[in-house]
Chain A
Amino acid sequence: MSKDLLQEQSDLTLDDICERCGLSIDTVTTYVHEGLVDVSGSEATGWKFTQTHMVHIQKARRLEQDLRLNPAGSVLVLELLAQIDTLKARLKHFDPQS
């Protein structure tokens, strides 16, 4: 396998995420506990985030601010959006006209 294969690096710490998203440790911890992102380990100091995780956290935050949601609500919205995307992709596959 070639060496430029995408290995999504889990190289962002909790502090990195807080700094880059402009969020408090509590807020990011809430997202982890809500299951928005799956970071391995139960100790917050050992959590490793990917860039995709970061994008998801930023999205959740935007939805909360813009639509007056709470974290549980925004995580639910993102999960449902992902399901809709999957279903739309399947639908497209079965019915290219749609």
Chain B
Amino acid sequence: MTMEYKDYYAVLGVEKSATEEEIKLAFRKLARKYHPDLNKDEGAEAKFKEIGEANDVLSDPEKRAAYDQLGQGYQPGQDFRPPPDWPNRAEGFDFTGRPGADGAQQQDFSEFFEDLFGRAQRQQQGPRQQPNFNAKGQDSHARIVIDLNDTFNGAKRTITLKVPELSADGHMVLKNRTLDVTIPKGVREGQSIRLKKQGGPGYGKGEAGDLYLEISFKPHKYYHTEGNDLYLDLPVTPWEAALGGKIETSTPAGPVSLNIPANSKQGGKLRLKGRGIPAKTPGDLYVVLQITLPPADSPKAKELYQTIAKELDFNPRAQMAAQL
């Protein structure tokens, strides 16, 4: 069997002559950068696993020595064939039954790694191999982006997840998996929806783990949310703000009629109780007034502005000098 040769030094971005300290430092920096809970980019998780694997080998003097000995003359990506009888033939090295430096991630390592260091260990210790071992599969997590409207009305969405799967030739590949998801009414950003038995497969007779989908909202031009509360940036004319008046507008919770108080200021907030995200105690809707000036792009508009300039004694900078 052949597989791709992995350059663990390049993965960690260190020289072949790097000291243990340098390797440790490089690993910690990269682990913080690519940890899937901290980095939401698509490739982060795969990168994090690769870093963990490289560190497992290079931080262990024996594994590192064996890796160096084996890897002489190989280029990254090149087909790699371990010597026959490896690891028995590797004089002075015994990796069977040895826990990795960071045992937690052991099972996700590449075939390249397992062939060199981990296969025997997995057969001896891995729960999959024990006929009487039954356990629930791992829970998995993903993020989905939904429209704000979905939380007001509830919705059915079809989502596509990228799931790592072991292909026939033993490589980890990302496969697309399509799921129909019911978005419950009232879901908030940051909450998770649980899909029973859609996570990792179970061991033995154990049932599959659950899939958790963390909700985030698609950015909207006029709306955003804070917790249960909904914020609407509502454009108003200068005269509506100055003179007050009634404005009809539609919101995700249905049409509303707003009373704009006279002398409203830019950024002024109106609160509509219970018109936010639905819940037992629903959130509120805050309407934030965005005073929008009509452009002075016609003789009539210019004339009106000139009239105001002449007739109104108004200097918005009057207070500035005193405060400098």
A residues with CB within 8 A of B: 1-2, 4-8, 20, 51-52, 55, 58-59, 62-63, 65-68, 77, 81-82, 85-86, 89-90, 92-93, 96
Number of A-B contacts (CB under 8 A): 70
Which residue on chain A has the smallest CB distance to residue B105? A66
Contacts of A66 in B (CB 8 A): 31, 35, 48, 52, 104-105
Supposing A6-B187, A89-B189 touch, asked if A51 and B194 sit within 8 A by C-beta, the answer is yes
Contacts of A51 in B (CB 8 A): 192, 194, 212
Closest 8 CB pairs of A and B: A6-B184, A6-B186, A93-B224, A92-B219, A55-B192, A5-B185, A5-B186, A51-B194
Supposing A4-B154, A59-B37 touch, asked if A52 and B31 sit within 8 A by C-beta, the answer is no
How many Å lie between the Cα of A65 and that of B52 in the bound state?
12
Query: Secondary structure at chain A's binding surface: helix, strand, loop or mixed?
Result: helix
Supposing A59-B37, A86-B226, A96-B219 touch, asked if A5 and B184 sit within 8 A by C-beta, the answer is yes
Binary contact track B64-90/A, C-beta < 8 Å → 1, others 0: 000000000000000000000000000
Supposing A7-B280, A51-B212 touch, asked if A81 and B191 sit within 8 A by C-beta, the answer is no
Contacts of A52 in B (CB 8 A): 190-192
Which residue on chain B has the smallest CB distance to residue A8? B191
Which residue on chain B has the smallest CB distance to residue A63? B37
Contacts of B4 in A (CB 8 A): none
Partner pick for A4 among B104, B184, B225, B280, CB 8 A cutoff: B184
How many Å lie between the Cα of A8 and that of B37 in the bound state?
23
Which residue on chain B has the smallest CB distance to residue A74? B37
Which residue on chain A has the smallest CB distance to residue B233? A93
Q: Which of A1, A5, A65, A67 has the most CB of B within 10 A?
A: A5
Binary contact track B127-156/A, C-beta < 8 Å → 1, others 0: 000000000000101000000000000100
| Interface: B256 (CB within 8 A) | no
Which residue on chain A has the smallest CB distance to residue B222? A93
Partner pick for A63 among B35, B219, B225, CB 8 A cutoff: B35
Supposing A55-B141, A89-B224 touch, asked if A81 and B192 sit within 8 A by C-beta, the answer is no
**Could you tell me if B279 and A65 are in contact, using CB atoms closer than 8 angstroms?**
no
How many Å lie between the Cα of A70 and that of B192 in the bound state?
25
CB distance from A66 to the nearest CB of B (A): 6
Contacts of A89 in B (CB 8 A): 189, 219, 224-225
Contacts of B185 in A (CB 8 A): 2, 4-6
Contacts of A90 in B (CB 8 A): 224
| Interface: B177 (CB within 8 A) | no
| Interface: B221 (CB within 8 A) | yes
Binary contact track B146-185/A, C-beta < 8 Å → 1, others 0: 0000000010000000000000000000000000000011
Supposing A6-B185, A62-B37 touch, asked if A55 and B214 sit within 8 A by C-beta, the answer is yes
11 A-B interface contacts by CB (under 8 A): A5-B278, A6-B184, A6-B191, A6-B279, A7-B186, A20-B139, A52-B190, A66-B48, A67-B32, A89-B219, A93-B219
How many Å lie between the Cα of A82 and that of B189 in the bound state?
11
CB distance from B308 to the nearest CB of A (A): 29
| Interface: B38 (CB within 8 A) | yes
